[in-house]
Amino acid sequence: QVQLQGSGPGLVKPSGTLSLTCAVSGDSISSSDWWSWIRQSPGKGLEWIAEIHHSGRTNYNASLKSRATISVDKSSNQFSLKLNSVTAADTAVYYCARLKYSYDANGPSRALDVWGQGTMVTVSS
Amino acid sequence: EIVLTQSPGTLSLSPGERATLSCRASQSVDSNFLAWYQQKPGQAPRLLIYGGSRRATGIPDRFSGSGSETDFTLTVSRLEPEDFAVYYCQQHNRSPFTFGPGTTVDI
């Protein structure tokens, strides 16, 4: 079955860059699906960060767009997130997830159907 | 930005009881792009309902979703012990794709 495995440093210094990678198994990153990053912090709940299609098309949360970069590596079947100029407010559990596009008799749909286990990232000196 | 408000914040029920969770949107949401997730402590969210009312793979039929435009409902017909968790609604209709703050279903 499809599995997502996120990885990256658990501690990042303030003003530094947070870098996370999500390895996809059981599905091709070049499929019709999109690939997403979501984070969860006690203060802000679940927050969608960005998503990418293998074609390179991206969507970003405007509140983070100037700091976030999402990319895809088709040769490694993985995708990544970089978030620069981090502060303590960026401390959160970061999840990667697959955004499944579906179309059936009821019409189109989009939902995050497979999630990685989550990577806790703390921003602290 | 579409703001999703969930109520109640906490629902205290017993196994076997019916749970009704509400998700209200600040603007109309195409129900095809409204989903519900379940999250247990230390775990990632799990997709329960997509397209407003379609059950995800492997989700038991005691879970059902309904609603349209700005009012959506997740119903658990008979709570099982494993259903006590936090439930989130999420819209993927208009960017930024937002989540509600969650409803905790506890005993």
pLDDT per position as a tens digit, A32-75: 889 999 999 977 789 999 999 989 999 999 998 689 999 999 99
Distance CA B75, CA B95 (A): 27
> Count of CB atoms within 10 A of residue A38's CB?
26
Instruction: Find out whether A37 and A71 touch, Cβ atoms under 8 Å.
Output: no
SS3 A4: strand
Task: List residues in chain B touching A: CB distance below 8 A.
Answer: 32-33, 35, 37, 44-47, 50-51, 53-54, 56-57, 88, 90, 92, 95-102
Per-residue pLDDT tens digits for A71-107? 999 999 999 999 999 999 999 999 999 999 989 888 8
Question: According to the model, what pLDDT value does residue A65 have?
Answer: 64
Q: What are phi and psi of A24, to 5 degrees?
A: -105, 130
- The alpha carbon of residue B50 is apart from the nearest alpha carbon of chain A, in Å, by 6
Q: How, if at all, do strands A11-12 and A119-123 pair?
A: parallel
Q: Do B54 and A95 touch (CB under 8 A)?
A: no
**Interface subset of A 35-94, CB within 8 angstroms of B:** 45-48, 51, 59, 61-63
The share of chain B scoring above pLDDT 70, in percent, equals 100
| Cα distance between residue A32 and residue A101, in whole Å | 7
Distances (CA, A) of B45 to A16, A55, A92, A112, B96: 28, 27, 15, 9, 19
Structure tokens at A29: 């990153």
- Residues in chain A with CB shorter than 8 Å from the CB of B56 are 111, 113
| Yes or no, beta carbons of A109 and B99 under 8 Å apart | no
